[in-house]
């Protein structure tokens, strides 16, 4: 390899075949011409007498050289054919048809290249077929699960409605306070179960690829207020205040689908509100950076076991991408983990990404980055700067 490596540093010839022909020419003619000159000079012939001999010798060697180089070129055809076949297959997938009946090393090279390309193409076909089947099977499963929306939500809504009817004693007193408490517990558990089922069904619809996305510039402040209006009832029942950073102005824009923006923000708010630990405040901020607008949602409550992997809870102020986390790989799959998986899928549909972590105060911190809507953006706020 050392001689070949040295030859590759020469500007000419560029091709591998040219290098072989150059070496053959120099290896034959330099010794031959040197020998003839030595004989002519040693014989004592004059320059005029030796000129004819040298000219005849030169013509004969040139003709022999041309014939030799042509023969070498032809003998190197297996190497060039094998190289061209590999290049064509890598470029456009063309399957070569190489002669494989020869038993010398060149023939073995052709046969090995033909077999390698054939096996590789068959393996790639099998891989593509398995991938397509897996994608189709996955889509069909998610489509079937997404189609159960009515069958699952309707009974749960009935349970929640009747539990609320009993807990408020709308049709008359139940007689004992314990019955009222039981009805409230049934309603609360039913609501939590409905939230989990809704997250699973929404995730199934997103993974099934049936979503119709319509991206448009949207006011971020309007989107946040709309999500807070939907979540404020649950927050009020738990005594939690929902706050928006005052530096988020009406001209801060994002490019998104209004329906999916609402779902992403609503699910993140519910994750913050549903924390098992007591929390009194959920804070929403935003900051523009690098063509994206990042929305931050924080609560005072810490992550519960199974919500996120442990490494997400041990680096305060550092947000990690949730894309690499699957709820199925966690030790315990919690409603928050399912919702985070849903938000990550929904964010991908609208060209966004989700990050989660632990705030400096030890509470839950979530951030979703969405495309900038193109309007002039405010400077990074003080609150958002603390979270970058």
**Top-confidence residue, 324 or 337:** 337
Residue 388, preceding peptide bond in cis (omega within 30° of 0): no
What's the pLDDT at 233?
Answer: 80
What's the pLDDT at 18?
Answer: 76
pLDDT tier, 379 (very low <50, low <70, confident <90, very high otherwise): very low
Contact 97, 105 (CB under 8 A): no
What pTM was estimated for this model as a whole?
Answer: 0.51
Question: Hunting for tokens 């706050």 — which residue is that?
Answer: 243
d(C-alpha 223, C-alpha 85), whole Å: 57
User: What are the pLDDT digits (tens) for 107-151?
Assistant: 888 889 999 999 998 998 889 888 888 877 777 776 666 666 677
pLDDT tier, 23 (very low <50, low <70, confident <90, very high otherwise): confident
- Percent composition of the chain: helix, strand, coil (DSSP 3-state, to 5): 60, 15, 25
- C-alpha dist (Å) from residue 32 to 19, 80, 191, 308: 20, 30, 98, 80
d(C-alpha 310, C-alpha 325), whole Å: 12
Whether the per-residue pLDDT at 320 is higher than 60: the answer is no
Whether the per-residue pLDDT at 8 is higher than 80: the answer is no
Domain ranges within the chain, ordered by starting residue: 2-75, 147-207, 218-387
Assign residue 209 a region (left: φ > 0; alpha: ψ between -120 and 50; beta: otherwise): left
Beta-bridge mates of residue 353: 369
What's the pLDDT at 157?
Answer: 83
Q: Is 310 exposed, middle or buried (0-12, 13-18, 19+ CB in 10 A)?
A: exposed
Work out the angle at residue 64's Cα, subtended by the Cα atoms of residues 63 and 68, and round it to the nearest 5 degrees: 120
pLDDT tier, 1 (very low <50, low <70, confident <90, very high otherwise): low
d(C-alpha 74, C-alpha 96), whole Å: 19
Contact 324, 312 (CB under 8 A): no
> At 241, which helix (H) or strand (E)?
strand 241-244
Least confident of 12-26, 94-108, 225-239, 318-332: 318-332
Question: Hunting for tokens 């002519």 — which residue is that?
Answer: 40
Least confident of 133-137, 207-211, 338-342: 207-211
What's the pLDDT at 385?
Answer: 32
What's the pLDDT at 224?
Answer: 92
Inter-axis angle of helices 105-146 and 77-92, to 10 degrees? 10
- C-alpha dist (Å) from residue 271 to 102, 132, 257, 363: 70, 35, 21, 12
Beta strands in 257-363 (DSSP E): 281-289, 292-299, 319-321, 353-358
Classify 204 as helix, strand or coil: helix
Contact 266, 304 (CB under 8 A): no
Whether the per-residue pLDDT at 381 is higher than 50: the answer is no
d(C-alpha 321, C-alpha 356), whole Å: 7
Positive or negative, the CA dihedral 205, 210, 212, 215 is positive
Which of 285, 283, 314 minimizes the C-alpha distance to 300?
A: 283
Question: Hunting for tokens 């199974």 — which residue is that?
Answer: 306
Burial string for 172-194 (b: 16+ CB within 10 Å, else e) reads eeeeeeeebeebeebbeebbeeb
What's the pLDDT at 378?
Answer: 37
User: What are the pLDDT digits (tens) for 243-301?
Assistant: 998 888 878 899 998 888 888 898 899 888 877 666 678 999 998 888 889 999 988 88
Token pair belonging to 99: 């002669």
Whether the per-residue pLDDT at 327 is higher than 80: the answer is no
Q: What is the CATH number of domain 218-387?
A: 3.30.565.10
Average pLDDT, the chain: 76
Whether the per-residue pLDDT at 305 is higher than 70: the answer is no
């Amino acid at each position: 390899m050392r001689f070949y490596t040295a030859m590759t540093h020469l500007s000419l010839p560029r091709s591998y075949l040219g290098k072989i022909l150059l070496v053959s020419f120099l290896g034959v003619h330099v010794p031959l011409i040197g020998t003839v000159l030595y004989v002519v000079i040693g014989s004592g012939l004059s320059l005029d007498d030796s000129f004819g001999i040298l000219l005849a010798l030169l013509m004969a060697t040139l003709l022999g050289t041309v014939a030799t180089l042509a023969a070498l070129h032809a003998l190197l055809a297996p190497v060039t054919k094998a190289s061209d076949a590999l290049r064509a297959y890598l470029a456009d997938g063309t399957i070569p048809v190489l002669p494989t009946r020869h038993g010398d090393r060149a023939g073995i090279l052709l046969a090995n290249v033909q077999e390698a390309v054939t096996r590789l193409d068959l393996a790639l076909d099998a891989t593509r077929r398995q991938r397509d089947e897996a994608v189709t099977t996955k889509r069909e499963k998610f489509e079937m699960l997404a189609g159960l929306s009515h069958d699952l939500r309707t009974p749960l809504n009935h349970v929640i409605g009747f539990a609320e009817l009993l807990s408020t004693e709308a049709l008359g007193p139940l007689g004992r306070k314990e019955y009222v408490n039981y009805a409230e517990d049934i309603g609360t558990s039913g609501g939590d179960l409905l939230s989990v089922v809704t997250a699973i069904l929404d995730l199934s619809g997103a993974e099934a690829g049936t979503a119709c996305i319509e991206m448009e510039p949207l006011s971020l402040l309007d989107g946040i207020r709309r999500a807070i209006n939907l979540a404020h009832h649950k927050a009020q029942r738990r005594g939690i205040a929902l706050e928006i950073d005052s530096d988020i102005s009406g001209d801060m824009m994002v490019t998104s689908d209004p329906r999916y923006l609402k779902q992403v923000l609503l699910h993140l708010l519910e994750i913050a509100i549903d924390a098992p630990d007591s929390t009194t405040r959920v804070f929403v901020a935003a900051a523009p950076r690098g063509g994206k607008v990042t929305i931050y949602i924080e609560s005072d409550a810490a992550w519960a076991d199974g919500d996120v992997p442990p490494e997400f809870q041990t680096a305060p102020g550092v947000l990690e991408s949730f894309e690499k986390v699957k709820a199925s790989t966690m030790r315990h799959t919690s409603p928050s983990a399912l919702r985070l998986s849903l938000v990550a899928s929904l964010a991908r549909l609208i060209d966004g990404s989700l990050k989660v972590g632990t705030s400096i105060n030890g509470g839950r911190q979530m951030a979703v980055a969405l495309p900038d809507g193109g309007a002039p953006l405010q400077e990074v706020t003080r609150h958002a700067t603390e979270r970058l």
